[in-house]
């Protein structure tokens, strides 16, 4: 049986060889704690972190790398931004497609007086910036929008939303979990104030890595206090970045791998990555869209998407279809709600969920064709 992995929106697999090699090298040959001691292993570990941060800053278009805060995933980065800006209460405007890593922190802040408005999407899954403008009130303190939906793959107009926020002096937090590494991002050019990303998806790094870009001039409290290796006599968390937001030992081995992933993506070039993603997405959405027994969610226009397609097969629960694809054909896809019940409510799939197939830069046309062939075969089950 073949072994085809198309669950890259959950986490990419496989990683480039250079990622495995960098993690092995860190674990075997470096081994020190980054930023803690003065010996050569600690200094070398510190340089690994520095290089990862510098590469991420270049990839994201941030002039000052110390404004790229390293976290363990996008969820931690989103919590840092959301709880940082809304710690004293206030209103947020979000999309109706947001992940639980936005929805749950907002709900958890309700006792502090935090409220939010979820902007609905159109039938094709697109969010209209004009609707965002209408949802903003005098109490709005933060706009939170994903860059691409992890359910439909549809891109949101975050640059236009950032412009709306700037007209009113309201910062924008972008959840780039599904775009960093496969879609061009320039935080300064797009005037994004906060951008949360994860290392283990399209940046092709390992799990346990991610980060938050924080624009110059934006003040917020840290989520955690603790050791940084800097100002150790001071009982208070340092007030300079990145130490202010990076308490505790960083994931040195993970960051070695993430650096290799980012270097790989930059070496290929984001244009080439995007071109490859577009080609495979088109193949995937056109193929699924043409099957009468399949319902594809969101627009079939690949240009407005990242490499994600959500669908259902007539007569099968999403979990049944995904299990059949795995057990009969060796294809890994995800089923259910994809941690985004708000998006399923908007799409009308809250009860059934969807089957989600998602590609990475390392996916091939053959992987997509095999999936299409197997989904076609599900018609007769
Ligand atoms: C849109 C979106 N936001 C946030 C997350 C959370 O990312 P992480 O697993 O890195 O915490 C995900 C992961 O699936 C996602 O798809």
Same domain, 283 and 159: no
pLDDT above 90 (res 364): yes
pLDDT for 208 equals: 98
pLDDT at 44: 98
Gap between the Cα atoms of 193 and 130, Å rounded: 20
Q: Are residues 217 and 312 in the same domain?
A: no
203 and 94 co-located in one domain = yes
> Which residue out of 8, 75, 94 has the highest number of ligand 1 atoms within 8 Å of its CB and is therefore the one to mutate?
75
Provide the domain count of the chain: 2
- Give pLDDT, residue 290: 95
Residue 147 has pLDDT above 80, yes or no: yes
Summarised one tens digit per residue, pLDDT across range 7-41 is 999 999 999 999 999 999 999 999 999 999 999 99
Same domain, 197 and 147: yes
Which atom number of ligand 1 is nearest to the Cα of residue 199?
A: 10
- Kindly state whether residues 203 and 251 are assigned to the same domain: yes
Regarding whether 144 and 42 lie in a shared domain, the answer is yes
Residues 6+ apart with CB under 8 A from 330: 1, 2, 3, 4
pLDDT for res 301: 83
Compute the distance from residue 255 Cα to the ligand 1 centre, in Å: 18
Nearest CA to ligand 1 atom 16: 150
Q: Same domain, yes or no, for 264 and 279? A: no
Give residue 300's pLDDT: 74
Q: What's the average model confidence in pLDDT over 73-100?
A: 97
9 and 105 fall within a common domain: no
**Cα–ligand 1 centroid distance for 3 (angstroms):** 25
Q: What is the DSSP string of 222-270?
A: -S-----SSSTT-SSPPSSTTGGG--S---HHHHHHHHHHHHHHHHH-H
Domain edge (last residue) among 214, 240, 268: 268
CB 106 within 8 A of CB 92: yes
Q: Is the pLDDT of residue 1 over 90?
A: no
Residues 186 and 287 in one domain: no
Q: Which atom belonging to ligand 1 lies closest to the Cα atom of 149?
A: 1
Q: Are 212 and 184 in contact (CB under 8 A)?
A: no
CATH number at residue 179: 3.40.640.10
177 CA to centre of ligand 1 in angstroms: 5
- Quote the Cα angle for 345-346-348, to 5°: 65
Does 375 lie in the same domain as 238? no
Q: 202 with 77, same domain?
A: yes
Q: Please identify, among 249, 268, 287, the residue that sits at the C-terminal boundary of a domain.
A: 268
Ligand 1 proximal residues by C-beta, below 6 Å: 73-75, 99, 101, 146, 150, 175, 177-178, 198, 210, 339
Q: Which of 223, 249, 268 is the last residue of a domain?
A: 268
Query: The domain spanning residue 309 has which CATH number?
Result: 3.90.1150.10
In three state form, how does the secondary structure of 5-23 look? ECECCCCCCCCCHHHHHHH
Show the domain range for 168.
17-268
Per-residue confidence (pLDDT) for residue 380, from 0 to 100:
79
The CA distance from 52 to 165, in Å, is 30
Expressed in angstroms and rounded, the spacing between residue 146 Cα and the centre of ligand 1 is 10
Q: What is the pLDDT of residues 264-311, one digit of tens each?
A: 999 999 999 999 999 999 999 999 999 999 999 987 788 899 999 999
Q: Give me ligand 1 centre to Cα 44, in Å.
A: 30
Query: 208 and 155, same structural domain?
Result: yes
């Amino acid at each position: 049986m073949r072994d085809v992995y198309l669950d890259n929106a959950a986490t990419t697999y496989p990683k480039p060889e250079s990622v495995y090699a960098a993690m092995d090298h860190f674990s075997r040959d470096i081994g020190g704690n980054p930023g803690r001691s003065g010996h050569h292993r600690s200094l070398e570990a510190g340089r690994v972190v520095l290089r990862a941060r510098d590469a991420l800053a270049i990839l994201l278009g941030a002039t000052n790398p110390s404004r790229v805060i390293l976290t363990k995933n996008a969820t931690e980065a989103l919590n840092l931004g959301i709880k940082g800006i809304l710690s004293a209460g206030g209103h947020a405007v979000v999309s109706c497609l947001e992940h639980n890593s936005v929805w749950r922190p907002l709900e958890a802040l309700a006792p502090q007086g935090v409220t939010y408005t979820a902007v609905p999407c159109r039938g094709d899954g697109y969010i209209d910036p004009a609707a965002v403008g209408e949802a903003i009130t005098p109490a709005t303190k933060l706009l939170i929008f994903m860059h691409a939906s992890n359910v439909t793959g549809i891109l949101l107009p975050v640059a236009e939303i950032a412009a709306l926020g700037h007209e009113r002096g309201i910062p924008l937090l972008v959840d780039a979990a599904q775009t960093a590494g496969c879609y061009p991002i320039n935080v300064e050019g797009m005037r994004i104030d906060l951008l949360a990303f994860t290392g283990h998806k399209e940046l092709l790094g390992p799990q346990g890595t991610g980060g938050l870009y924080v624009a110059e001039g934006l003040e917020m409290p840290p989520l955690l206090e603790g050791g940084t290796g800097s100002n150790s006599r001071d009982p208070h968390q340092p007030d300079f970045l990145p130490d202010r937001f990076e308490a505790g030992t960083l994931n040195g081995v993970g960051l070695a791998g993430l650096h290799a992933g980012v270097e790989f993506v930059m070496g290929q070039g984001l244009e080439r990555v995007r071109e490859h993603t577009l080609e495979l997405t088109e193949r995937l959405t056109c193929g699924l869209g043409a099957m009468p027994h399949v319902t594809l969610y969101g627009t079939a226009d690949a240009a407005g998407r990242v490499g994600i397609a959500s669908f259902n097969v007539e007569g099968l629960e999403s979990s049944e279809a995904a299990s059949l694809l795995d057990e009969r054909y060796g294809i890994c896809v995800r089923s259910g709600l994809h941690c985004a019940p708000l998006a399923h409510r908007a799409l009308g799939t809250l009860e059934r969920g969807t089957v989600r197939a998602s590609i990475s830069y390392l996916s091939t046309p053959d992987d997509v064709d095999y999936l299409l062939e197997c989904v076609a075969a599900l018609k007769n089950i």
